[in-house]
Amino acid sequence: MSTMAKRKKSVSGELALIARLRAKAGTLSGRRIRLGIGDDCAILRAPRGHELLVTTDFSLEGRHFRRAWHTSQSVGHRTLARGLSDIAAMGGRPLAAFLSLALPRAVARDTRWIDGFFEGLLALAEESNVPLAGGDTAEAPGDEVLTDIVLIGSAPAGHALTRSGARPGDEIYCTGALGGAAAELAALARAPGKFRRAQAGDAHPHLFPQPRLAVGQALLRRRLASACIDVSDGLSTDLAHLCEASGVAAELDAALLPAHPLTAALAPAKQMAAVLHGGEDYELLFTAQPEVKVPRSLAGVPIARIGRVARYNKSRPRMTILAEGTRFELQPRGWEHLR
């Protein structure tokens, strides 16, 4: 833990928070951690023959969550899920997580909120077998909770999945279902009180997204995928990233897209928008060479073929979608942050 922030806040407050963090995280010491929380740095052992993967993700109140809408368990879970999903997208194994937490004074004193936050974060950490190996706390300058998660992972040297390996003729696949997080967020905005008792699990794609670590690892181990990305910003945006990185175009088929059952509650015009552009589903979007046999499910998660990679031609749209017999241009529309 850095001591930088201590001058600005009550030292005893931060020490108490660190003590809680250490007590909670201490139960999760991985054999990859030679030295965890309590020194100036953690010391990690990288597995032999592996490369390290590093990713960092903000979760900012007002942008990614609201304390009035999200329970602290959900905020903790989502903070870690964002980082784990990036490790999943590369086919990696998480080695350790590092958390930076800036709390407004009132929240720093709210032990129920803090306990809930760590409960949510550490439950997912335990499930994903990743120790929380360090972090930093500070008093937030404003009234918003700000968190940042750093994930260190590993993948066999030279074999991590990347966005840039898709080639014309490859098939396009995605895991699970799409649009569920956007649909649940819409329901949450209407009636946050209904979700106060929501628990982690597949039923809550927005509040408790399930990063697809086991699927990503299976794709890597079985050499199934030519390229992979996680769907954090929405199918249309993340597919655009993959296409740009690979220098290819994509042709989707609307009839093949796996709409999450929660999208049925949306107005018909909004259902397809949630599937195509709704963010934070944290599913994996990947491509595979046409001769590769991709199973219908991996690690218990359904896999859907949703389209095909095509040659990119500057004079034609990068992405198209076939809907009711007509092919339309598909624009990356991403997801809108909370307002």
Chain residues binding Mg ion by CB under 5 A are 86, 230, 232
Minimum CB separation of residue 44 from Mg ion in Å reads 22
Minimum CB separation of residue 231 from Mg ion in Å reads 8
Query: From the CB of residue 4, how many other CB atoms can be counted at a distance below 10 Å?
Result: 9
> What are 213's strand-pairing partners?
none
Write b or e for each residue in 54-87: b if 16 or more Cβ atoms lie within 10 A of its Cβ, otherwise e.
ebebebebeebbbbebbbbbbbbbbbbbbbbbbb
- DSSP one-letter code for 66: -
- Phi-psi label, residue 217: left if phi above 0, alpha if psi -120 to 50, beta otherwise: alpha
Contact 175, 287 (CB under 8 A): no
Element (H, E) at 196: none
Minimum CB separation of residue 45 from Mg ion in Å reads 26
Minimum CB separation of residue 85 from Mg ion in Å reads 6
Of 214, 211, 221, 210, nearest in space to 161 by CA:
221
Query: Is the CB of 59 or the CB of 232 nearer to Mg ion?
Result: 232
Phi, psi of 84 (to 5 degrees): -65, -35
Minimum CB separation of residue 284 from Mg ion in Å reads 10
Q: Cα separation of 100 and 149, whole Å?
A: 6
Minimum CB separation of residue 241 from Mg ion in Å reads 8
Contact 132, 121 (CB under 8 A): yes
Query: Is the CB of 14 or the CB of 283 nearer to Mg ion?
Result: 283
Query: Is the CB of 1 or the CB of 225 nearer to Mg ion?
Result: 225
Query: Is the CB of 70 or the CB of 163 nearer to Mg ion?
Result: 163
What dihedral angle (degrees, nearest 10) is formed by the CA atoms of 76, 81, 86, 87? 100
Minimum CB separation of residue 334 from Mg ion in Å reads 13
User: Within the chain, where are the H helices?
Assistant: 11-25, 72-89, 105-108, 111-127, 180-190, 213-221, 235-246, 268-277
Q: Cα separation of 205 and 209, whole Å?
A: 5
Query: Is the CB of 230 or the CB of 281 nearer to Mg ion?
Result: 230
Query: Is the CB of 14 or the CB of 57 nearer to Mg ion?
Result: 57
Minimum CB separation of residue 17 from Mg ion in Å reads 29
User: Within 90-179, where are the H helices?
Assistant: 105-108, 111-127
Query: Is the CB of 92 or the CB of 134 nearer to Mg ion?
Result: 92
Query: Is the CB of 42 or the CB of 97 nearer to Mg ion?
Result: 97
